[in-house]
């Protein structure tokens, strides 16, 4: 029996021409799927923001998170951990500042009563309270 030549080179098996570009396409499809999933999750998370306060909190969180990640990366000399910690702290701070900076909305109808040149002021038939606890007239006679 002859010994097997361990140093012999065996010819490489080449991929068929029909599958040569499949690997590159698969990588592109996976990257596109990850990007699409990330965008969809972000859109679903922000879809519930219906009041100005919630919208400002979401915007503040995005801006604060991005700024915090940049500063955290710079302070930690390019460390990913520093960027993550900075992004988390920046997002929390930005959400709080954005929520607190929302101006109050317009007063409810009937809060100030009729205009200044409407004649004598009407008498209030029914008193109510607004969401801040202020007494307002809800019906006139």
pLDDT digits (tens, 9 = 90+) for 20-32: 555 667 888 888 8
89, 66 contact by CB (below 8 A): no
Is the per-residue pLDDT at 88 higher than 80?
A: yes
124, 136 contact by CB (below 8 A): no
The 10s digit of each residue's pLDDT in 49-80 is: 678 888 888 889 999 999 999 999 999 988 88
- The interaxial angle of helices 52-75 and 80-100, nearest 10 deg, is 150
Sorting pLDDT into bands at 50, 70 and 90, what band is 87? very high
Is the per-residue pLDDT at 119 higher than 70?
A: no
Six token digits for residue 43:
């859109």
CA pseudo-torsion sign 55, 58, 60, 63: negative
Q: Hey, is 2 helix, strand or coil? A: coil
DSSP conformation class of 49: -
Mean pLDDT of the chain: 79
User: Cα–Cα distance between 83 and 136 in angstroms, integer?
Assistant: 51
Contacts of residue 26, defined as CB under 8 A and 6 or more positions apart, other chains included, come to none
């Amino acid at each position: 029996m002859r010994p097997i030549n361990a140093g012999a080179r065996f010819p490489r098996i080449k991929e068929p021409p029909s599958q040569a570009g499949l690997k590159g396409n698969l990588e592109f499809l996976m990257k596109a799927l990850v990007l699409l999933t990330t965008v969809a999750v972000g859109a679903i998370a922000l879809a519930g923001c219906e009041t100005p306060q919630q919208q400002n909190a979401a915007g503040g969180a995005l801006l604060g998170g991005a700024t915090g990640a940049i500063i955290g990366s710079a302070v930690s000399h390019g460390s990913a951990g520093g960027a993550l910690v900075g992004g988390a702290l920046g997002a929390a701070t930005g959400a709080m500042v954005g929520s607190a900076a929302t101006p109050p909305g317009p007063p409810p109808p009937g809060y100030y009563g009729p205009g200044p040149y409407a004649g004598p002021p009407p008498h209030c038939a029914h008193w109510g309270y607004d969401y801040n606890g202020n007494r307002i007239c809800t019906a006139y006679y």
